[in-house]
Amino acid sequence: MTGSDLLQTEHAEDRVNKGRTDHLKKASAETRKKLLGVNGLVSFEERKVADWRVIARGFTGECMTTRFKVRHKIQSVYGLYMNLATPGEGDILYDVNYRPNKHHDEIKAAGILNSILGGDITLLEEVNTPGTKRPDYVWRGKMWELKTVSSEKAADRAMRKGVKQIAKNPGGIILNFGTNVFSTKRCKNVIIDRLKRSEIKTTIDIIILKQDKIFNIFRYKKAKKDD
């Protein structure tokens, strides 16, 4: 799979044919014969078919099903972010009519993200049209909302509002705990419980800031109804 939410691509590459073809080329003639049959082996070696699945013995393409339900998943992607980080690269930009003097926390958090992870960050003016509250940032082409919280309970309320603000093009939510003490386990449970009830239908990332540093980054994947 080459697709990645972090790389902002929604298309995965089907490598089933290439992977097995590479294996068959390295396998012994006896192994190839067992998998493809006599006639299939001839077709494969003479390159008469482009896909081994057409000639493989007993291959149907059917997938196994399970009686176990897929749960909502949350995992740490801190390492993934760090591996792709470009510290200090990119620009911090300001939306038209942005008022820096009223957004000290947002500007500070943007500086932290840029210095550690990199990427262009645009700070958005709070209100675009009457009654519409916009997210705080567009970062790496996605919408992000910063919420300053003091506890896990406060994080639940903050995320309830935040998911609505980024719903059109969700990147994630940044929870800034400052110097406040919190439980990582309870924080993860709050994130799962809140996002299970949210309108977010896709993957969403949650960056945890603590004492002006990135403490962890969680990725939440919502289970489908038919899973």
* pLDDT tens figures, 8-29: 444 456 677 788 888 888 888 8
Residue ranges per structural domain of the chain? 1-63, 73-221
> What's the CA gap between 221 and 71, in Å, rounded?
9
Alpha-carbon distance 8 to 223, whole Å? 20
For residues 114 and 107, is the Cβ–Cβ distance under 8 A?
no
Handedness of CA 222, 148, 144, 212 (dihedral sign): negative
Question: Above 60 in pLDDT, residue 66?
Answer: no
Report how far residue 101's alpha carbon sits from residue 75's, in angstroms, rounded to the nearest whole number: 36
Lowest mean pLDDT among 146-150, 193-197, 216-220: 193-197
Is the pLDDT reported for residue 3 higher than 70?
A: no
> What pTM, to 2 d.p., does this model score?
0.65
**CATH number of the structural domain 73-221:** 3.40.1350.120
